[in-house]
Structure 1
Amino acid sequence: MAIESSKGISRRALLGAFAASAVVAAPTYSKAAGFLRNAGDIRRIRMYSARTGEKIDMIYWVEGHYIKDAVQEVNHFMRDWRNDVATSMDLRTIDIMAASHNMLDVSEPYMLLSGYRTPQTNAMLRSKSRNVARNSLHMKGQAADLRLSSRSVNQMARAASACHAGGVGRYSGSNFVHMDCGPVRSWGA
């Protein structure tokens, strides 16, 4: 993992980040908003894609700085797998995902169902389901649809909602939660 020295990240911080990758403290729901306001020294995201077979376990933020190479890997991982197109994901969405995951106190990675979507993919999905928004935040790199086998949709949605940082959709019938960095709102059952 490459770290830019211009970011001022110390060797000690980097070593601490690697040590913390084994154990990450789980903030309580009441501290979720603080976590998103730089209350943590390290942010980590863990996901896999059943569609591509890829996995990611990435520390992407250390001591107030995003790690450029790590963020690029997250962007590539969350690409539209149907046509292999990536975008710069909104880091607020990644932060919401990471904070929610920590609050759930699980070691299991998220299963990423959908991250970035091209307009073509969104239109195709919209033609097959009334649950796909015409102007979906997925097309702006601001949303993700996620699943955990060890936690219910309601548990995941409560954790994401505790962040008070974006939209949370419950899709119990399909067993996934939508998280985005748009206006704070919730829907679904």
Structure 2
Amino acid sequence: MAKKDFGFSRRALLKAFAATAVASAPTYSQAAGFLRGGGDIRRIRMYSGRTGERLDMVYWIDGDYIKDAVKEVNHFMRDWRTDQIKSIDLRTIDIMAASHNLLDVSEPYMLLSGYRSPQTNSMLRSRSRGVAKNSLHMQGQAADLRLASRSVSQMAQAAQACKAGGVGRYHGSNFVHMDCGVVRSWRG
């Protein structure tokens, strides 16, 4: 997959990844592997309570997205209700990964919602005022995530530190919404 330039959000994400470089630097025991060309990587770790699936994937190495890895992320983040798959915006994946790095956890995200088909979004909207009519989930540009070891506030602070998209705090439902849309924040 070709490298894409995402302007201001790419720069903010690179700063977030750079800020975590010390925490993710190789230990002496890992140094040999790192020096063999492991290079700069981005990794995403998630599981789905709905499907039972797990994902632990390096999706970017040394400035390039790995096509097959991104394809697996797209499949994992599909609308599980309809089994429809949409390409997830790479900026959203980067925001999720950078936030996870800033939180310094090994626990994978629990994915509550990635891509949503228009049918699923409409059904959810009929049940809750908190679901947007034109949700970025339908564009493959948003994810709702949870971590057992971190609070909603901690997760939201990490996502906001990326300065690269929208961050919603849903304390009552214990999740954080992250998207690659306009930089903004809200409480749900």
| Distance (Å, rounded) in 1 between the aligned partners of 2:60 and 2:16 | 12
Instruction: Indicate yes or no: 2:65 matched with 1:84.
Output: no
| Partner in structure 1 of residue 123 of structure 2 | 124
Report if the CA contact (8 A) 1:44-1:98 is conserved.
yes
The alignment partner of 2:100 has SS state of helix
Instruction: Indicate yes or no: 2:172 matched with 1:173.
Output: yes
| Partner in structure 2 of residue 72 of structure 1 | 71
| Partner in structure 1 of residue 108 of structure 2 | 109
In the alignment, structure 1 segments of 5+ residues that lack a partner are 8-30
Q: 1:67 and 1:57, CA in 2 relative to 1: closer, same or farther beyond 3 A? A: same
| Distance (Å, rounded) in 2 between the aligned partners of 1:36 and 1:103 | 8
| Distance (Å, rounded) in 2 between the aligned partners of 1:52 and 1:151 | 23
Following superposition, the deviation at residue 32 of structure 1 comes to: 5.3
Following superposition, the deviation at residue 166 of structure 1 comes to: 0.0
1:139-178 map, 5 Å: 139-178=138-177
| Distance (Å, rounded) in 2 between the aligned partners of 1:117 and 1:138 | 5
| Partner in structure 2 of residue 14 of structure 1 | none
The alignment partner of 2:149 has SS state of coil
Counterpart code for 1:90: D
**Which of residues 29, 34, 44 is equivalent to 2:15?**
34
Instruction: Indicate yes or no: 2:119 matched with 1:138.
Output: no
| Partner in structure 1 of residue 35 of structure 2 | none
Report if the CA contact (8 A) 1:36-1:95 is conserved.
no
Encode CA deviations 1:70-121: one digit per residue, 9 max, x unaligned: 0000000000000100100000000000000000000000000000000000
Counterpart code for 1:174: S
The alignment partner of 1:46 has SS state of strand
Encode CA deviations 1:130-151: one digit per residue, 9 max, x unaligned: 0000000000000000000000
The alignment partner of 2:168 has SS state of strand
| Partner in structure 1 of residue 55 of structure 2 | 56
| Partner in structure 1 of residue 186 of structure 2 | 187
Counterpart code for 1:187: W
In percent, how many aligned pairs have the same letter? 75
User: Superposition RMSD on alpha carbons, in Å?
Assistant: 2.0
| Distance (Å, rounded) in 1 between the aligned partners of 2:41 and 2:182 | 25
In the alignment, structure 2 segments of 5+ residues that lack a partner are 4-11, 22-39
Length-normalised TM-score, structure 1? 0.81
Counterpart code for 1:46: R
Following superposition, the deviation at residue 35 of structure 1 comes to: 3.8
Counterpart code for 1:157: A
| Distance (Å, rounded) in 2 between the aligned partners of 1:32 and 1:92 | 9
